[in-house]
Every structure is written in structure tokens, then in C-alpha cells.
Homo-oligomer: A and B are copies of this chain.
């Protein structure tokens, strides 16, 4: 294997690892919220609603269609966890946590934090090393590496 091929292979291995880890993290999240009787998509919306948000914004944050947010909002409303309140722009509806919603979101957040794998499996030092690498990987910045 050439030098370049080795780099490709190693990078591929890291990608697989990254995806496997994220899948485990998502599995953890699923288990955690499942214990509260909540399907994952509803839980995701719930934890995003620290402040009332237009449905459009939620669709952007979750990278999904507006119509799907409508369906999730319906289900959260049925469960009494949110209400729709009208925005100043009268086309807009703000999803807002009810008292029950706030309570549940807080419980879920705490449970998720408690079994957070990054907290459980890495030392403080390791987390401090990891953070900037993840920031760079997120790719807000233009691609910068790999000039050989």
C-alpha cells in the first residue's frame, strides 16, 4: 500500500469509528427517552425548545421538512407537552413548552447527561483535546488540511 493509500484507509477507519460512536450515542438517547415513553423524534424537538421557536426554525435545525414538524407538533400537543402560540408575523406559530413539557424536558436532559458516554469514557484532559478537533470537523470553516 502506498503512503497515500494508507492515509485513505486510516481516514476511512476513523469515519467508520465516528459513525459507530454516534450510533451508539443515538442508541443511548433512544433508550433514555424510551424509558420516559417518548419516541426519539418527539424527544429531539422537546430538547430543542429551550425557548419558543417557529416551526420553520425547528425544521432547519433538524434538517427535515416543515410538514414533518407539523406532525411532530401535533403529537407533542396531544401529549400536552407543547402549545402553538401565534407569532407577530401571523403566518408563524411558535412552539412553546407547557409546564409539563418543561418538567419532562428537564428530566430527560438530566438522564441524558448522566449516561453521556463522553463524560463516562474520557478524562477531562481528553475532552479538552477532543473539543477543538470536533469543532474543526464540523466544517463551518473551509477545508483546510491535507496538502501533500
Contacts and interface: CB of A to CB of B under 8 A. Distances in A.
Nearest to A144: B121
Given A18-B22, A25-B18, A124-B7, A145 B119 contact: yes
Interface in A1-43: 7-8, 10-12, 14-15, 17-26
A89 interface: no
Contacts of A117: 15, 137, 139
> In terms of DSSP, what is the predominant structure of the interface of chain A?
helix
Number of copies of chain A assembled together: 2
B129 A133 contact: yes
A78 interface: no
Given A7-B119, A15-B116, A123-B145, 6 more contacts: A10-B131, A22-B23, A120-B143, A121-B136, A122-B136, A124-B145
Interface of A: 7-8, 10-12, 14-15, 17-26, 63, 109, 112-113, 116-124, 126-127, 129-131, 133-139, 141, 143-146, 148
